[in-house]
Amino acid sequence: MAMKESAFAGTDEEISNPRGLPINGTYAINPADNITGYKSFQAGSFKFHRDEYFCYVTTPTGVHTMPADAFLRALMRDVAWGFFYGTVNFDQVFGTTNYYGEVDMFMGATNEAYTSAGRDFVERFKADKLMDVFKQMVSDWTNEGYDPFAAPMETGVPWGVKNGDNDEAVSRERVTARRMVGLPGDTPVRTDTNGYPVNRMFADVPQDRPEVHPEPGFEHEVSAYNLFGYLSRSDVTWNPSVCSVVKDSLFCPTSEEYILPVEHGNDRCEWFIQLTDEITWNVKDGATGRPRAVINMKAGDCCCMPADIRHQGFSAKRSMLLVWENGSPKIPELIRQGLAPDVAVEF
């Protein structure tokens, strides 16, 4: 994920609350079901349970059903990204919107049919409290051998009754370089030795190292590493990690395969730089879900996602994508005041 810790914790600025919702402080984690073995969970009026194939979200306005694999992959990203920037749509109905310290959880709030029929439902939570429930949910509902971070062809299946766990996978620490990967004391490069073999789809990516010739005393400043080699060894998909930092400018490259498990409705402009291969993005209106555009990105392409849309990517072959985020803590306040632009550049 691409956020700084400060973004998850909130800022000193007033927290935006466009719906004027009160904080709901009701949480429950219920004992395992006698038949399926899975625990059920509750946050406010939202109730969550799963069986062998499906996950269910129940609110006073209805029940929403998702396949367990899609739900767990989306839940994993929402957890790993700390609710991320803006809205994480698990699908076209259920999701969360991050206000940096507080979170709206919704059913149908970004779906035109639900809102026009008055069937949408939203409640607000403290981010850390809801995150605790989500972490326990992804831990309990993930079975042994299934990794919701992995591409579908590289992991087991999520189906069936409760069968062990995979806490090692679902509790991965996100990678956030403080200055640049490979610098002394910063995030290390990936190697076979430290548990990051080259992915099968990147077997042809050169693993050579840059020539680095520092004069004595400048070893901490004259530094370089093989970024493409680093990305070829990523063991997760659709999980941006910070690799270099210029103030609040965060280079968050990632390896992508299959489908972005969420429809991400960012609250700010977000740039994609296609480093290798190809991704197709389906773009929809952020508020209604109406289709807006289809974007095909090939190696070298640069494209900005406006702040008023949601996007979902498809990558047939594992590809390298540079996700570029502006993590400035000032942006939530600009958004709250309506001063943040929807479009990054006008020409």
Partner 1 sequence: MGQYTTDFGSIHSYKKGGVTAIDDDPKRYVFSNMFEVAAKSAPYERVAVAKNFEYVIESAKAEGESPWYTAAHDEFVISMDGKVRVDFIKLPDPDALVDPESEGAVKIDSKPEGANMGYVVLGRGHMAMLPVGAAYKFSAAETCTILIQSIDGAVTQHKWAQFCQK
Binding positions for partner 1, 258-297, rule CB under 8 A: 268-269, 271, 273-278, 283, 290-297
Q: Does 180 bind partner 1 (CB under 8 A)?
A: yes
Q: Does 321 bind partner 1 (CB under 8 A)?
A: no
- In this structure, are residues 36 and 161 in contact, taking their beta carbons and an 8 Å threshold? yes
Which residues ranging from 191 to 210 are in contact with partner 1 (CB under 8 A)? Answer: 200-206, 208-210
What backbone phi and psi angles, to 5 degrees, belong to 125?
Answer: -140, 155
- In this structure, are residues 2 and 81 in contact, taking their beta carbons and an 8 Å threshold? yes
Residue 120 or 325: which CB sits closer to partner 1? 325
Site string for partner 1, 97-136 (x = CB under 8 A): ----------------------------------------
Return the range that interacts with partner 1 (CB under 8 A); candidates 50-58, 118-126, 131-139, 238-246.
238-246
Answer for which of 106, 225, 238, 258 binds partner 1 (CB under 8 A) is 225
- In this structure, are residues 298 and 276 in contact, taking their beta carbons and an 8 Å threshold? no
Residue 76 or 309: which CB sits closer to partner 1? 309
**Least gap, CB of 281 to partner 1 (angstroms):** 9
Task: Write the burial class of residue 173 (CB in 10 Å: 0-12 exposed, 13-18 middle, 19+ buried).
Answer: exposed
As a whole number of angstroms, the distance between CA 43 and CA 170 comes to 21
Long-range CB pairs of 82-85 (<8 Å, 24+ gap) are 82/1, 82/3, 82/7, 82/8, 82/127, 82/131, 83/8, 83/127, 83/131, 84/1, 84/2, 84/3, 84/264, 85/2, 85/3, 85/7, 85/266, 85/267, 85/268, 85/270, 85/325
**Least gap, CB of 263 to partner 1 (angstroms):** 15
**Least gap, CB of 216 to partner 1 (angstroms):** 9
Answer for which of 29, 115, 179, 191 binds partner 1 (CB under 8 A) is 179
Return the range that interacts with partner 1 (CB under 8 A); candidates 6-14, 17-25, 140-148, 321-329.
321-329
